[in-house]
């Protein structure tokens, strides 16, 4: 079962710095991350979602949008959704990760220096399976060829 971890930061830039540290942990095989998103809420209150892993496309954009209540997203605890939304006030950011496995003490120690508020929840087995079986968006080369 995958785990969703969200870490909220009091400014717009720290989530991206923490994401860089996360990449280093992946290369050291301390963590196996399925998907990562950096969410920034600018001073005007607009959300900016930057997905990092795999075939992010519309599937994962929809997933992250669902976390903020823009769609009816199943599998994510409503309390967690609310905590993330409450934390993402204008001028803040968050690092959201769907983690397959990790050495928790090493990951927490590496990310501790960035501060932030940690929200952690497990995704349901059904939700994890549904995401793995979802159709993938077309690759840029096949989309270009169809034009």
Q: 96-115 burial, b if ≥16 CB within 10 A, otherwise e?
A: bbbbeebeeeebeebbeebe
Domains of the chain, CATH where assigned:
3-130 (3.30.70)
Phi, psi dihedral angles at 90 (to 5 degrees): -50, 135
Give whichever of 27-36, 77-86, 87-96, 135-144 has the largest mean pLDDT: 87-96
| Structure confidence by residue, pLDDT tens digits, 11-68 | 999 999 999 888 888 888 888 888 888 989 999 999 888 887 554 445 555 666 666 5
Q: What is the 3-state secondary structure (H, E, C) of 89-141?
A: CCCEEEEEEEEEEECHHHHHHHHHCCCCEEEEEECCHHHHHHHHHCCCCCCHH
Please give the Cα distance from 14 to 92 (Å, whole number): 9
């Amino acid at each position: 079962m995958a785990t969703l971890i969200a870490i909220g930061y009091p400014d717009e830039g720290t989530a991206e710095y923490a994401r860089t540290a996360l990449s280093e942990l992946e290369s050291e095989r301390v963590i196996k991350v399925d998907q990562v998103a950096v969410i920034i809420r600018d001073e005007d209150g607009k959300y900016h979602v930057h997905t990092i892993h795999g075939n992010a496309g519309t599937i994962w954009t929809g997933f992250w949008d669902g976390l903020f209540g823009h769609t009816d997203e199943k599998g994510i605890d409503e309390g967690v959704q609310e905590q993330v939304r409450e934390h993402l006030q204008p001028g803040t950011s968050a690092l959201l990760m769907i983690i397959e496995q990790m050495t928790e003490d090493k990951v927490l120690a590496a990310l501790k220096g960035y501060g932030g508020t940690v929200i952690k929840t497990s995704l349901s087995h059904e939700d994890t399976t549904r995401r793995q079986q979802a159709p993938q968006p077309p690759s840029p080369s096949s989309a270009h060829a169809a034009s």
